[in-house]
Amino acid sequence: MSATTPALPTRVRHLIVGAGFAGVGAAIKLAEIGEDDFLVVEKGNDVGGTWRDNTYPGAACDVPSQLYSFSFARNDWSRSFSAQPEIFAYLQRVAAESGTLDRFVFDTAVTEAAWDDTAGEWVVDTTAGQVRATNLITGSGGLSEPKLPDIDGIDGFDGEIFHSARWNHDIDLTGKRVAVIGTGASAIQIVPQVQKVAAHLDVYQRTAPWILPRHDRTYSTIERLALKHVPGLQRAYRSAIYFGRETYVPGFTRFPQLTAPAKRLAESNIRRGITDPELRAQVTPDFQIGCKRILISNEYYPALDADNTDLVTDRITKITPGAVVTEDGTEREIDVLIVATGFHTTDQPIAHHIRGRDGRSLAEHWSETGMASYKGTCIAGFPNLFQLVGPNTGLGHSSMVFVIESQLAYIIDAVRTQRQAGWPAVEPRPEVQDAWNADLQRRMQSTVWSAGGCASWYLDDHGRNTTLWPRTTISLRRLLANFDSDKYVITERTAR
Ligand code: N01
pLDDT at 2 over 80: no
Q: Judging by beta carbons within 10 Å of its beta carbon (0-12, 13-18, 19+), is residue 170 exposed, middle or buried?
A: exposed
184 lines ligand 1 (CB under 6 A): yes
pLDDT in tens, 299-352: 999 999 999 999 999 999 999 999 999 999 999 999 999 999 999 877 888 999
Q: How confident is the model at residue 361 (pLDDT cuts 50, 70, 90)?
A: very high
345 ligand 1 Cβ < 6 A: no
Mean pLDDT within 373-390: 98
CA-CA-CA-CA torsion sign (285, 289, 294, 295): positive
Measured CA to CA, the distance from residue 470 to residue 445 in angstroms comes to 10
| Residue 150: partners with Cβ closer than 8 Å, 6 or more residues away | none
Q: Whose CA is nearest to atom 6 of ligand 1?
A: 182
Q: Is 253 in the pocket of ligand 1 (CB under 6 A)?
A: no
Domain 154-209+252-339: top CATH class = alpha beta
pLDDT for 398 equals 94
Contacts of 318 (CB under 8 A, 6+ apart): 151, 152, 153, 325
Q: What is the pLDDT of residues 28-63, one digit of tens each?
A: 999 999 999 999 999 999 999 999 999 999 999 999
Q: Which atom of ligand 1 is nearest to the CA of 342?
A: 1
Ligand 1 closest atom vs CA 60 = 45
Q: Parallel, antiparallel, or unpaired: how do β-strands 121-126 and 110-116 relate?
A: antiparallel
Q: Report the residue among 186, 318, 404 best suited for mutation to probe ligand 1: largest number of ligand atoms under 8 A from its CB.
A: 186
Give one word for 333, left, alpha or beta, with left for phi > 0 and alpha for psi -120 to 50: beta
3-state secondary structure at position 465:
strand
Pocket test for ligand 1, best of 62, 164, 206 (most atoms within 8 A of CB): 206
Helices (H) and strands (E) in the chain — how many of each?
A: 15, 20
Determine the Cα–Cα distance for residues 72 and 171; give it in Å rounded to an integer: 39
Q: How far apart are CA 149 and CA 17, in angstroms?
A: 27
Q: How far is the CA of 457 from the centre of ligand 1 (A)?
A: 8
Ligand 1 atom closest to the CA of 206, numbered from 1: 27
Please give the single-letter amino acid code of residue 385.
Answer: L
Say what the pLDDT of residue 310 is: 98
Q: Are 415 and 378 in contact (CB under 8 A)?
A: no
Fold assignment, 2-145+344-491: FAD/NAD(P)-binding domain (3.50.50)
The Å distance, Cα 189 to ligand 1 centre, comes to 11
Closest by Cα among 175, 176, 153, 154 to 163: 154
From the CB of 457, is ligand 1 less than 6 Å away? yes
Any idea of the CA torsion for 306, 312, 318, 322, to the nearest 10 degrees? -20
Query: What pLDDT, on the 0 to 100 scale, is given for residue 494?
Result: 59
The residue ranges of every structural domain in the chain are 2-145+344-491, 154-209+252-339
**Residue 339 CA, closest ligand 1 atom number:** 30
CA atoms within 13 A on the CB side of 306: 21
Q: How would residue 6 be classed by pLDDT, with cut points 50, 70 and 90?
A: low
Instruction: List 179's β-bridge partners, or say none.
Output: 202, 337
CA of 329 to the centre of ligand 1 (A): 25
Residue 341 CB–ligand 1 contact under 6 Å = yes
pLDDT of residue 495: 46
In the predicted structure, residue 13 carries a pLDDT above the cut 60: yes
Q: Are 205 and 312 in contact (CB under 8 A)?
A: yes
- Residues 122-138 have a mean pLDDT of 97
Buried b (16+ CB within 10 A) or exposed e, 196-216: bebebbbbbbebbbbbbebeb
Quote the ligand 1 centre to 201 CA distance (angstroms): 18
Which ligand 1 atom sits closest to the C-alpha of 149? Answer: 41
Q: Which pLDDT score is estimated for 344?
A: 87
Flag whether pLDDT at 7 surpasses 80: no
Residue 345 confidence (pLDDT): 79
